[in-house]
Amino acid sequence: MDATVLSASLIPPAPKIHPLPLGGSLLGDLRIAWEMGRNLVGAWCEDDFDSLVTPYRFMGQPGLVVSDPAGVRQVLASPNFRRAAKLGRPLKPLVGDSLLLTEGETWKRQRKSLAPVFTPAAIGGLVPHFIAAGDTLVGRLAGQTRANLSEAFHHTALDAVLRALFSRRADQDGAVLAQIARRYVEGPAHFRLLDFVSRGVDDLTFADGDRRRLGGRWLAAVDAIIDERRIAPRSGDMLDRLLAARDEDGRPLPDQEVRDQCSSMLAAGFDTTSRLLFWATYLLALDPTTQDRVRAEVTAFPAERVTGLDDLKAWPLLRAVLFETLRLYPAAPTFGRQALADGEVLGHPIPAGATVTISPWLMHRHRKLWDAPTTFRPERFLDQPHPWGLEAFIPFGAGPRVCIGAGFALAEAQIILASLLARVAVTLTHERPVTPKASITLGPDHEPDFGLEPIVQARP
Ligand code: HEM
């Protein structure tokens, strides 16, 4: 592929960067907490995009922002760091004691019992579900000349994960979950001041009634689906694999654990992938030349011909576009670790309890780590069969707690976008730029209508 003719100079929208750091005083810290509650990626300053490691104090507690790729890997691989518990607070009512939030031996055991659900062969077996979700999306959009694709992808990503997990559909028996998920993402998923000053997931939760109420309804809906499955015939989906999973002593997973793991896969799996679908489509609408080239790929090898993960190699540019989307708009923009004992990172002392902040948003736009960091240039990933080898690219994290669903998300996103782009050309209907606004995931600041022009397929 001639990379020089691809998008050369598109700089897609991003929030303004503060010229100077906001913190350093109580007032400054309150401003940061307020900014981050409004938009998790809205509080960074110019220096953050140049510095590879920055010590800070926030609300009286010491911390370190690390963007140095080796330092990030050191922290993510080290047993001296646990996932920063306070960052899990908005999720806890939805996911309970599941892989996302457990630690130590419990986490190790859970990760091991979930591994068979996410092998390439197992994900390959989910391809028909992803094709069905893509077809449903195309069916929903049929005849429309404009549509809110953020909303549509939200529904589609939930549909894909409901089908893969439970053989359910978001427009039928999964509708309650779809409704709760949307309400949760719009409200309780946003960080609050108490999240930042708390000492963990179960501390200072008195103001979290809305999270508990919606989380309770969500868990009850998941419970009902699992209960039905226990008495109904098997469907060959992820729930079957979970119910069949055995621990080292040959025992099945406890009921509550099956429920929490399902909730965690739903919660971790749909909002992230729907963001990826949205931003990729937005970028392709801004860059019609690249969109046409992707369309040529997916027309030459249509989604309905995919039977396994190997077939996805037919779409190298689509894959590169998804990676470049995850670089510019990482669906999980910031995560963190908390030191268990005194230690050091890149020569900076880290006392026990201090937080190390790791931000894919920052690393992926870092001026010392990328050439033209703010430019949309998918071809930078074309020669990278394993972009995980790019040290500064961590959309799915790294180390032992790397996203267990990365292969799932990438297969799903490729198939759904291939289905859509083969059927419609996507344009923007107005000029107002869409800037990212993040809570746990990186969404758009407003949901634009996209123009949809049907593609007339040439007869064979
Ligand atoms: C574009 C899509 C996705 C992105 C960007 C993403 C990103 C991430 C990141 C950055 C982490 C690690 C966070 C940390 O180290 O603190 C993570 C963990 C996790 N993700 Fe994903 N994710 C995506 C899709 C999915 C899907 C589809 C599933 C399940 C079906 C999933 C399930 C999980 C789980 C269970 C964990 C916790 C793993 C552990 O702690 O062992 N994710 N994800």
Residue 158 CB less than 6 A away from ligand 1: no
Q: Is the pLDDT of residue 8 over 70?
A: no
Q: In what order do the strands lie in the sheet with 355-358?
A: 53-58, 61-66, 355-358, 335-339, 81-83
Q: Which CATH number applies to 3-454?
A: 1.10.630.10
Which atom of ligand 1 lies at the shortest distance from residue 98's CA?
35
**Encoded tokens for 349:** 């002392």
Residue extents of the structural domains in the chain: 3-454
> Which of 82-86, 163-167, 206-210 shows the highest mean pLDDT?
163-167
For atom 7 of ligand 1, which residue has the closest CA?
Answer: 396
Work out the angle at residue 257's Cα, subtended by the Cα atoms of residues 252 and 261, and round it to the nearest 5 degrees: 115
Residue 404 Cα to ligand 1 middle (Å): 6
Residue 102 CB less than 6 A away from ligand 1: no
The answer to whether 16 touches 435, Cβ cutoff 8 Å, is: no
The pLDDT tens digits for 336-346 are 999 999 999 99
Which atom of ligand 1 lies at the shortest distance from residue 330's CA?
5
Cβ neighbors of 5 (< 8 A, separation 6 or more) are 289
Higher pLDDT, 356 or 438: 356
Please, where are the H alpha helices in 198-339?
A: 209-231, 238-244, 255-286, 288-300, 316-328
Q: Is the pLDDT of residue 329 over 90?
A: yes
Residue 409 CB less than 6 A away from ligand 1: yes
Give the span between the Cα atoms of 47 and 29, in whole angstroms. Answer: 17
Which atom of ligand 1 lies at the shortest distance from residue 331's CA?
5
Q: Is the pLDDT of residue 6 over 50?
A: no
For atom 9 of ligand 1, which residue has the closest CA?
Answer: 396
Residue 212 Cα to ligand 1 middle (Å): 22
Please give the average per-residue pLDDT across 432-442, as a whole number.
91
Residue 451 Cα to ligand 1 middle (Å): 31
| Total Cβ atoms within 10 A of residue 168 | 23
Cβ neighbors of 252 (< 8 A, separation 6 or more) are 243, 244, 245, 246
> In a mutational test of the pocket of ligand 1, which residue from 130, 403, 408 has the highest number of ligand atoms less than 8 Å from its CB?
403
Instruction: Give the model's pLDDT for residue 207.
Output: 78
The pLDDT tens digits for 21-36 are 877 788 888 888 888 8
Residue 276 CB less than 6 A away from ligand 1: yes
Instruction: Give the model's pLDDT for residue 233.
Output: 66
Residue 225 Cα to ligand 1 middle (Å): 23
DSSP code for 350: E
Residue 129 CB less than 6 A away from ligand 1: no
| Residue 186 burial (10 A CB sphere; 0-12, 13-18, 19+) | exposed
